Each structure stands twice: as structure tokens, then as C-alpha cells.
């Protein structure tokens, strides 16, 4: 039952936001009593914490798998973006923003874990791109990986990028292109243009 509650809560939080969904909503949707949920989760914060970690492990596992396929580094970043967007349901309800505002402690822990995971993944991606001659060899790898991470987080700020002006999927595409155009060689640019053109088709 705990597993079922976790899955349903994850789904609802992503669709409607962490603040908007109540324990009553989850109980009603599952056709169980609120008491049943409280038998497994002492409070909503604990449930939010578990769903966030659950989601993090699904996403980091998927990213690890994509990285293990040893695709072309530019293609790899697009595959990761696609995978993350599917699992975050295009972040329609700005769950990241709600998590930061209403559950700052959970958000902070998650952010540290994301940083560690992304840092490793992006550093490997950059090194691989340099060795293939599709990223510039004079890049400061630590700088590029950190600026990429902070950019990915900054574009989730709905005050700076309101969803009605910047749909999440397009925003992620634009940011990824912006990142890659700054680091590719002419050889890499050809691959990038090919991927962008095929994505628009």
C-alpha cells in the first residue's frame, strides 16, 4: 500500500503541484481513507520528501542508463532532456518552484543531490565531446559544468520565465541549444544543427 500511495502522490504532485494537492485529495483519488495514508506517512512533509526522492532515483537511474549507451555527447544531452521532461510531465504545475517555496528543506537536499549527479554526468559529457573534437578543447570543464547546472535551475524560476511566455519544453530546448552553441567546434555545430532540424520535423 505504501508503494501505491507513493506512486499516486508522485503523479498528483507533478500534475497539480506540491502545495495544491492535499492528503484528502490523494485519499479520495485512491478510494482509501486519509487514516490509511497516515498509517504509512506521519505527515504531508514526509510524503513530499519520499515522492521527491523516489522521482530523483527514477530520473538519475534513467540518466545513468542513457550515459552508459555511450552515444554522441550532443545527442546524449538531448536524450537526457527528453527523458527528464517525460518524467516531470513538462512541469506543468511548476512543482520545483512550489517545492522550493513550501518545502525548502526537502528542496535543498534534492538540489545538493541533483548537483552531484549532474556534475558527474556533465563533466563526463564535456570530456567525451572534447576527445571527439566536437567540443572546443580550451573549455574550462568545471566552469562549463557548473554554469550549465545553475542555468538549468535558473530557468525553472517562474518569475523570470513565466510559463505562459516560456512553455517548459521549448525553454529547455532553447537553453540546451544556447549551452551547446557556446561549446561546440564547427564539427560539433553540424551535428547540433542536424539534431535541431530533425527535432523540428
> Domain for residue 69, yes or no?
yes
34 inside domain: no
Q: Is residue 15 part of a domain?
A: no
What pLDDT shows up at residue 137?
97
157 within some domain = yes
* Residue 154 falls inside a structural domain: yes
- Asked if residue 60 belongs to a domain, the reply is yes
Domain with 70 in it: what CATH number?
1.10.357.10
Q: Is the residue at 10 inside a domain? A: no
Write out the chain's pLDDT in tens, 201 residues.
Answer: 999 999 999 999 988 889 889 999 999 999 999 999 999 999 999 999 999 999 999 999 999 999 889 899 999 999 999 998 887 765 555 677 788 889 999 999 998 998 998 898 999 999 999 999 999 999 999 999 999 999 988 888 888 998 889 988 889 999 999 999 999 999 999 999 999 998 764
Q: What is the pLDDT, as a whole number, of residue 99?
A: 86
Q: What is the pLDDT of residue 96?
A: 76
Number of separate domains in the chain: 1
Range of the domain at 181: 44-200
Q: Torsions phi, psi of 155, nearest 5?
A: -70, -10
Whether 55 is in a domain gets the answer yes
This prediction has a pTM of 0.87
What pLDDT is stored for residue 90 in this prediction?
53
Amino acid at each position: 500500500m505504501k508503494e501505491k500511495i507513493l506512486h499516486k502522490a508522485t503523479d498528483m504532485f507533478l500534475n497539480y503541484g506540491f502545495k495544491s494537492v492535499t492528503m484528502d485529495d490523494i485519499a479520495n483519488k485512491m478510494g482509501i481513507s486519509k487514516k490509511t495514508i497516515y498509517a504509512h506517512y506521519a505527515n504531508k512533509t514526509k510524503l513530499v520528501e519520499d515522492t521527491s526522492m523516489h522521482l530523483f532515483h527514477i530520473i538519475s537511474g534513467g540518466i545513468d542508463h542513457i550515459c552508459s549507451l555511450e552515444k554522441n555527447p550532443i545527442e546524449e544531452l538531448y536524450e537526457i532532456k527528453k527523458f527528464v521532461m517525460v518524467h516531470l510531465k513538462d512541469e506543468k504545475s511548476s512543482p520545483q518552484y512550489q517545492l522550493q517555496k513550501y518545502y525548502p528543506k526537502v528542496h535543498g537536499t534534492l538540489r545538493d543531490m541533483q548537483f552531484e549527479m549532474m556534475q558527474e554526468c556533465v563533466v563526463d559529457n564535456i570530456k567525451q565531446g572534447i576527445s571527439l573534437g566536437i567540443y572546443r578543447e580550451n573549455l574550462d570543464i568545471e566552469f562549463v559544468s557548473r554554469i550549465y547546472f545553475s542555468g538549468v535551475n535558473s530557468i525553472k524560476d517562474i518569475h523570470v520565465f513565466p510559463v505562459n511566455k516560456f512553455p517548459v519544453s521549448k525553454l529547455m530546448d532553447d537553453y540546451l541549444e544556447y549551452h551547446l552553441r557556446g561549446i561546440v567546434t564547427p564539427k560539433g555545430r553540424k551535428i547540433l544543427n542536424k539534431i535541431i532540424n530533425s527535432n523540428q520535423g
